[in-house]
Structure 1
Amino acid sequence: MVKQTSFEHLRTELKNITNNLEEVISSSADKSKFEVNKLRNKAKHVLDSSLDRIDQSSAYIAKTTRETIKKADNYLHKNPWQGTGMGIVIGFILGILIIRR
């Protein structure tokens, strides 16, 4: 799988689906039944392949998220005081941001 950010990949796929469906909708009134079926088949093929790629992307996102969480968990088990310090700093920053509003 090409290394592309997941957000960009999903955005590209959804844009591709939208463009093909718009083509089917806009041109179905002017075409014969054969051409409409051809456009529908094309749209279905694009939709199926896009959904497959979206499934692959979501599986990749889930896998990398699990790996990152596992690394963070291992780090915090090995360095509990540093984890506590990070939690305090993050809480302090969030507290300041909330008070400013």
Structure 2
Amino acid sequence: MPEQTLNNEKEKLLADVRSVLNSTEELLAAAGDEGGEKTKELKTKIAANLKLAKSRLVDAEQIAVEKAKAAAKATDQYVHDNPWKAIGVAAAGAFLLGLLVSRR
């Protein structure tokens, strides 16, 4: 899977998670203070879980960005240190891809 497609999928997933969290917060706010004591307890627990989920989402985003930057830096360094190997690997990949496409 190309890196750009993978990045687009990750961004879409993160946007979907944010959307679900925001919708849940809106539903929780819309419920207001209705209900009995157990309902209020449940709302408090849901709010705490939402806060925790948002915190973990932010942490996961930061880790993903750091890993992506490290991988890009390592790849850039490798290509600069071994330009002919990188060209050879790219050529071999293109050749194999060409074989696969030509068979269909």
TM norm structure 1: 0.63
Partner of 2:92: 89
Partner of 1:27: none
Deviation at 1:34, TM superposition (A): 2.2
- The aligned counterpart of 2:68 is 65
Following superposition, the deviation at residue 89 of structure 1 comes to 1.2
- RMSD over aligned CA atoms reads 3.2
* 1:37 Cα deviation from its structure 2 partner: 1.7
Runs of 5+ in structure 2 lacking a partner?
1-16, 25-34
Which residue type is aligned with residue 35 of structure 1?
Answer: K
Detail structure 1 runs of 4+ shifted over 6 Å in the superposition: none
Tell me the TM-score normalised to structure 2 length: 0.61
Q: 2:49 and 2:102 mapped to 1: Cα distance?
A: 49
Deviations 1:54-94 (A, max 9, x none): 21112111101110110110110111111101111111222
